Structure 1
Amino acid sequence: MSDTKNVILAGVGGQGTILISKIMTNGLIRAGYDVKQSEIHGMAQRGGSVSTQVRWGSRVYGPVFGEGEADILIALERMEAVRYAPFLKPTGIAVINDYAMDTLTTASGLEEYPAGCVEAMQKEFATIVLNAEEIAAELGNPKCMNVVQFGACCDVLGTPEIDWEEVVAETVPEKFRELNRKAFRAGRAAAKEKAQA
């Protein structure tokens, strides 16, 4: 039986989805896992959907998996959580940033942003929901929202042997290390608090 784990990360262009997958990949490789990563940028420059897939285990044969195969979905935006929900196994876990970003069509008034995205996910899957943007803003920089979100998901990755905070610090530019350490810790603490509630 395969020990491969599959994670899909989803967000909107500019949210830092690819940075999170890079942090994850760096940590897993250093821990000795065979790791494969793929990226789908979409219309990233225009606020379009962005997703990446990360797979790891003792032996991984390809970077891409299909619908119903993800163990974990990490969504940086709530509508993106719903968009990529078909990739989750029924037993999968969704880590959702309760945050909405206007798309081109919603910003222009051509369509309305859908209501009930988080609630729909909670009905179908085990979820961890937090407002990473709010937490990042409290730290003084909303741009570290992605690392807050990564902190929230790190315990469900099932890799306690990896010092994820150190991996974050080594992956981000030096001038942002302390901010991202704080962001990681804040996200991890928020997820633990939600789990105990």
Structure 2
Amino acid sequence: MKQARGNVFLAGVGGQGTLLASEVLGEAFLLGGFDVKKSEVHGMAQRGGAVTTHLRFGPKVFSPLIEQGTADLLVAFEKMEALRFAHFLRPGGAAVVNAQEIMPPSVATGRERYPERIEERLAAVTPNLYLIDALAAALALREVRAVNMVMVGAASRLLPLRETCYLEALRARLPERIVEVNAKAFRAGRALMAPHEAGR
């Protein structure tokens, strides 16, 4: 979706850093010369509830909200959240999905079951599905909280910005002491996308 305007829908659960990821992405687009509008829904962010962000960029953006069926890119930090919000994708849109499975309270207490065949069901929604193990990449850096920047790095491969915009955004949005590890996580995310791109 390397274009001059677009809609990016981010989805995760509380504690994954979804909102910070959207802040870094928004800052990167501003640094890249785009107008940006963003809208966040926190849900029960502290209790594993869904956390989503609508992010729109272009020469001029008037509304922050992404209508269902119009998102160019879905960035999902957890598999079930990808399935939950897949209907926001436009036909031919792309989804970057973290392979991690986080059991919500309703599943942990036995009231509901975790969905089956998620990857297969997502592939039926879009042929442009990129499933990556962002958690493993973050753990390799010994910083589990960096999953969000791994996801930003992976998503950046499909967005119309120079890598330097993201790195400058990291420096602008994060405390100096954690910029380096998050920059490494960002680059790890970009590297995770390389095999996908080679196969297309």
Common fold: TM-score over 0.5: yes
The residue aligned with 2:52 is: 51
CA distance in 2, matches of 1:183, 1:4: 26
Structure 1: which 5+ residue stretches go unaligned? none
Post-superposition offset of 1:4: 3.3
Unmatched runs of 5 consecutive residues or more in structure 2: none
The question of whether the paired residues in 1 share the 8 Å contact of 2:29 and 2:165 is answered with: no
Is 2:8–2:71's contact at 8 Å kept on the other side of the alignment? yes
How many Å separate the matches in 2 of 1:48 and 1:114?
A: 16
Structure 1 residues 162, 138: CA separation in 2 closer, same or farther (over 3 Å shift)?
Answer: closer
| Equivalent position of 2:150 in the other structure | 148
Partner of 1:106: 107
Instruction: Say which SS state the counterpart of residue 163 (structure 1) adopts.
Output: helix
Match of 1:90 in 2: 91
1:129 to 122, 128, 131: 131
Aligned twin of 2:13: 12
Q: Does 1:181 align with 2:183?
A: yes
Shift of 1:89: 0.2
What is the DSSP-based 3-state SS (H/G/I as helix, E as strand, rest coil) of the residue aligned with 1:183? helix
Q: Distance in 2 between matches of 1:36 and 1:74?
A: 17
2:177 alignment partner AA: K
- Measure the CA separation in 2 of the matches of 1:172 and 1:160: 19
d(CA) in 2 for partners of 1:89 and 1:4?
14
- Is the contact made by 1:169 and 1:180 (CA closer than 8 Å) also made in structure 2? no
**TM-score normalised to the size of structure 1?**
0.94
Whether contact under 8 Å (1:128, 1:195) holds in the other structure is no
Aligned residues of 2:86 and 2:125 also touching (Cα < 8 A) = no
Quote the Cα distance in structure 2 between the aligned partners of 1:84 and 1:39. Answer: 14
- Residue in 2 that maps onto 1:70: 71
Task: For residue 33 of structure 1, report the CA deviation from its aligned partner.
Answer: 1.1
1:133-176 residue CA offsets vs partner (Å, 9 max, x unmatched): 11101110111001011101102012237532232233221111
Secondary structure of the equivalent of 1:176? helix
Q: Which of 152, 157, 160 is equivalent to 1:158?
A: 160
* Partner AA of 1:133 in structure 2: L
**Which one has more relative contact order, counting CA pairs under 8 Å at least 6 apart?**
2
Aligned-pair CA distance for 1:130 = 0.4
CA distance in structure 2 between the aligned counterparts of 1:170 and 1:4, rounded to whole angstroms: 23
Q: Which amino acid aligns with 1:32?
A: G
> Following TM superposition, by how much is the alpha carbon of 1:128 offset from its aligned partner in structure 2, in angstroms?
1.1
Paired amino acid for 2:10: L
What secondary structure, in the 3-state scheme, does the structure 2 residue paired with 1:112 have? coil
**Alignment match of 2:172 (pick from 154, 170, 173):** 170
What corresponds to 1:40 in structure 2? 41
SS in 2 for 1:55: strand
- Report how many residues are paired: 196
